[in-house]
Structure 1
Amino acid sequence: MTATRPEPATGPVLDAHLAVDRGTFRLDVRLRIGAGEVVALLGPNGAGKTTALRALAGLQPLTAGHVTLAGRDLDRSDGRLRTPTERRPIGVVFQDYLLFPHLTALDNVAFGPRRHGVDRRTAHRTAAEWLHRVGLAEQARRKPRQLSGGQAQRVALARALALDPVLLLLDEPLAALDAGTRLDTRAELHRHLAAHPGATLLVTHDPLDALVLADRLVIIEHGRVVQEGDAASITAQPRTDYVARLVGLNLYRGTADGHSVRMGSGFALTAADRVHGDAFVAFPPSAVALHPHRPDGSPRNTWPATITGLQRHGDNLRVQLAGPIGVAADITPAAAAHLHLTTGQQVWVAVKAAETRAYPADTRPTT
């Protein structure tokens, strides 16, 4: 039976403006999350993801801004309001889970309700119910060292959800798992998040986790939001090099005049779309063809390039090329063998205009 996500409330459950100064780094991010909504916060290392999570959890004071949860102010920098971590209706699953090693799985899950004044019997009953929901009823008496990585992750999730949190924070919840365990645990986590009536913020650097688990993506770089929207809109129109790499596209910025987009170097690409003014142009590595000599025929975009790198990429070979623009190409091993590709080799690049998309370079984050 598939879990049904609750209908969102009329207003956001979480309304936050997180401004945090840490030395020379400044985080300045606005987040709004509705009831039953899962938002993934992505960004490269050092972008401010963990700082944002810690600020929401009350572990990092705000320099400016506010945190409002279900209409209740938790933090207000102007009024010097700061709610202690233990008094926030927030559940957190940390990257390394932070289970108490001396407690059983049952007692780990019961810990939160007990801290909130629930009597021992009721807390254990709640914990047992949650362990049953996450498929660990038979592991209730085991301690963390006796659990697998996937089991420990589910105990940590049960511990966070046993508090019936208004906001659930997940900090790289699958990062500590091996590839096989990660696949099954991701599917299990998706089921539980779909049933959670509150708001959820998933902090991750893994695009697959974000695409599978989240309803909406918020991407930050250097402490600022650079793009926001659902997976389809972001993968269709990335707006920074980091986002382009995240979704697997070659991305360039230039000035468009109809179907032609000219870069600062004077090199131009022909695209399927008609755009005017400041624009992005993008195409997938799979749209790039390599030739030993200048190709004849239909490709509108051709240029000479030098191979600077070769590596396996799934079932294909990822080829990095330098030239008027840097480009990544995905070709089959058979094609690579036929072309005798090596680093430093001169080749011709061809990209069909029909596979090249252009769109306005609006500098505001997309919504």
Structure 2
Amino acid sequence: MRLDAPLLDAHLVVDRGAFRLDVPLRVAAGEVVALLGPNGAGKTTALRALAGLHPLTAGHVTLAGVDLDRPARRAWVPTERRPVGVVFQDYLLFPHLTALENVAFGPRRHGVDRRTARETARSWLTRVGLAEHAHRRPRQLSGGQAQRVALARALAVAPSLLLLDEPLAALDARTRLDTRAELHRHLGAHPGAALLVTHDPLDALVLADRLVIVEAGRVVQEGDAATVTARPRTEYVARLVGLNLHRGRADGHTVRVGDGLALTVADRLDGDAFVAFRPSAVALHPTRPEGSPRNTWPATVAGVQRHGDNLRVQLDGPITVAADVTPAAVAQLHLTPGQRVWAAVKAAETHAYPAAG
């Protein structure tokens, strides 16, 4: 996979009132990139710009060497003429058309004759396992089946770029699991570039080769899953991968964070640094602990919520952290909002890395 010669080469600049999207994006043939970010980050605006549903203010969208949108040269290719397939969050299947007719719609709009379009549609419905549902209308399909029809419709035009906008968000947990595996198989077979817009880290980690994190219209971090999860660079990314993250100043094995708290860390470094540690690494005590933990500080319980089989305790203090503890520990410590406790994290449980770069 050659990222130095991407199939999609884009610089998406879109002004929408006070909000500006400014996102460079490169996707190679056969690569799946996940675009993640909090609500309002600009993910959907980026997808709509690539699809031709929202013109760029500046920058460019170049696909397979052809400019689809370049305002400086007044180059603009309408949505229906772009070699782009889109799977929308709500699928947007035509309610009055059968599954077969929905899938055949794309090829027909690209100038394919009716018979050939229907043959293509039949082939794709077979590939997504819905051949026997060809003559059903959307209201007669389950959520997972509707998602597969929408995917078949997007792929039926043989797109150079496949765009997926929260494709699994409308599904229940069980259907989501099965459909995610099915989608992974089809994305793996797609020869073009694919961009997945999602807020779900599991979808991104399972389906994508590379993650691009966007906040407030800008790219804040990108890389493969291992890189992003090991070294988050913003609080949003840290929450996404389930870590506490703090920025501070390192001097050897000590990093000063928050309100002057000195944390002893396993990694040695100097200068601006991040310190990350898992909520499960945070131990809580009714009084200041003696012995091995070198990092201790007084904290106040801000909230307690269920988190899987454990409980997640939000703590305020010199730094704000989350701690995962057992229900038995909560009962033993009588943890309630406003209670004072001591938090402790062993140096060996921390991961420190440079904030620059």
TM bucket (normalised to shorter chain) is: over 0.9
Shift of 1:343: 1.7
Alpha-carbon distance between aligned partners in 1 of 2:51 and 2:90, rounded to the nearest angstrom = 16
Q: Identify which range, 266-275 or 7-16, moves more after superposition.
A: 7-16
Shift of 1:9: 7.8
Q: Residues 277-332 of structure 1, C-alpha deviation per residue, up to 9 Å, x if partnerless?
A: 01111101010001111111111100111111001001110000111111100011
The alignment status of 1:339 with 2:333, answered yes or no, reads yes
Q: Secondary structure at the match of 2:73?
A: coil
Q: Tell me what 2:124 maps to.
A: 130
Native 8 Å contact 1:295 1:348 kept in 2 = yes
Shift of 1:10: 6.4
Alpha-carbon distance between aligned partners in 1 of 2:3 and 2:241, rounded to the nearest angstrom = 31
Aligned to 2:139, which of 137, 140, 145? 145
* Cα distance change of structure 1 residues 16 and 10 upon mapping to structure 2, 3 Å threshold: closer
Q: Tell me what 1:199 maps to.
A: 193
Native 8 Å contact 2:251 2:269 kept in 1 = yes
Q: Identify which range, 131-140 or 117-126, moves more after superposition.
A: 117-126
Q: Tell me what 2:41 maps to.
A: 47
Unaligned runs of 5+ in 2: none
Q: Tell me what 2:236 maps to.
A: 242
Native 8 Å contact 2:3 2:26 kept in 1 = no
Alpha-carbon distance between aligned partners in 1 of 2:342 and 2:11, rounded to the nearest angstrom = 49
The alignment status of 1:112 with 2:106, answered yes or no, reads yes
Alpha-carbon distance between aligned partners in 2 of 1:151 and 1:73, rounded to the nearest angstrom = 35
Q: Secondary structure at the match of 1:78?
A: helix
Alpha-carbon distance between aligned partners in 2 of 1:99 and 1:45, rounded to the nearest angstrom = 25
TM-score by length of 1: 0.96
Aligned to 2:316, which of 319, 322, 344? 322
Aligned to 1:308, which of 302, 318, 326? 302
Q: Secondary structure at the match of 2:228?
A: helix
For these two proteins, the number of residue pairs brought into alignment is 357
Aligned to 1:214, which of 208, 225, 244? 208
Native 8 Å contact 1:249 1:282 kept in 2 = yes
Structure 1 runs of 4+ aligned residues shifted over 2 Å read 7-10
Amino acid paired to 2:348: A
Q: Secondary structure at the match of 1:259?
A: strand
Alpha-carbon distance between aligned partners in 1 of 2:73 and 2:140, rounded to the nearest angstrom = 47
* Cα distance change of structure 1 residues 193 and 227 upon mapping to structure 2, 3 Å threshold: same
Alpha-carbon distance between aligned partners in 2 of 1:206 and 1:9, rounded to the nearest angstrom = 25
Alpha-carbon distance between aligned partners in 2 of 1:264 and 1:245, rounded to the nearest angstrom = 18
Native 8 Å contact 2:304 2:336 kept in 1 = yes
Q: Tell me what 1:351 maps to.
A: 345
Alpha-carbon distance between aligned partners in 2 of 1:18 and 1:166, rounded to the nearest angstrom = 18
Shift of 1:340: 2.1
* Cα distance change of structure 1 residues 123 and 39 upon mapping to structure 2, 3 Å threshold: same
Q: Residues 52-102 of structure 1, C-alpha deviation per residue, up to 9 Å, x if partnerless?
A: 001000111111000100111111111011110011000000010010001
Alpha-carbon distance between aligned partners in 2 of 1:196 and 1:32, rounded to the nearest angstrom = 17
Native 8 Å contact 2:246 2:258 kept in 1 = no
Alpha-carbon distance between aligned partners in 1 of 2:2 and 2:254, rounded to the nearest angstrom = 43
* Cα distance change of structure 1 residues 317 and 135 upon mapping to structure 2, 3 Å threshold: same
Unaligned runs of 5+ in 1: 1-6
Alpha-carbon distance between aligned partners in 1 of 2:180 and 2:200, rounded to the nearest angstrom = 12
Alpha-carbon distance between aligned partners in 2 of 1:107 and 1:92, rounded to the nearest angstrom = 17
* Cα distance change of structure 1 residues 280 and 10 upon mapping to structure 2, 3 Å threshold: closer
The alignment status of 1:93 with 2:87, answered yes or no, reads yes
Alpha-carbon distance between aligned partners in 2 of 1:101 and 1:8, rounded to the nearest angstrom = 41
Amino acid paired to 2:44: T
Shift of 1:264: 5.1
Q: Secondary structure at the match of 2:280?
A: helix
Alpha-carbon distance between aligned partners in 1 of 2:153 and 2:4, rounded to the nearest angstrom = 29
Alpha-carbon distance between aligned partners in 1 of 2:99 and 2:3, rounded to the nearest angstrom = 34
Q: Secondary structure at the match of 1:29?
A: strand
The alignment status of 1:13 with 2:25, answered yes or no, reads no
